[in-house]
Amino acid sequence: MLENVPFRRTWFRGMDLEGNRYFERRNPLRPDRLRRMVRYKEEQESWLDYKVCPQWESWLRHTRTAAPALDELQADVQRRAFLERRLRAQQALVAPEERLNLESRRHPRETSPKEMSPRERGEKRR
């Protein structure tokens, strides 16, 4: 790559399946570590609307050293689709009555304080 070229400031590292582009550049505050950034394909109104896949997210946060390849991203999409199909098949096997019973059970945090034991309420023993 052209990393040692003096006039080059930003290096392209890859692209995700949505069309976002990922770059690295020198960090003036930390010369020993490159700064990683993403340029999104489309502008969004809010920062909450931007989505980055987990592989690129871990690369941006320096959790992984190498940028993910397109083959890896496509394999992850296929894996997720396979898991969704298996989940739907398992849900179809559950009888409708059992499904209603499972949905009607309340989470322990959703119970009222009267229904909770003193230990669950955080009361100390006397």
Q: Write the pLDDT tens digit of every residue in 16-44.
A: 998 999 999 988 888 888 999 999 888 87
The domain segmentation of the chain, as residue ranges, is 10-104
Does position 65 have pLDDT exceeding 80, yes or no?
Answer: yes
pTM of this prediction?
0.64
What pLDDT, on a 0 to 100 scale, did the predictor assign at position 50?
Answer: 78
Q: Write the pLDDT tens digit of every residue in 77-118.
A: 999 999 999 999 888 887 666 666 666 665 555 555 556 666
Can you tell me the distance from the alpha carbon of 37 to that of 19, in angstroms, rounded to the nearest whole number? 14
What pLDDT, on a 0 to 100 scale, did the predictor assign at position 52?
Answer: 87
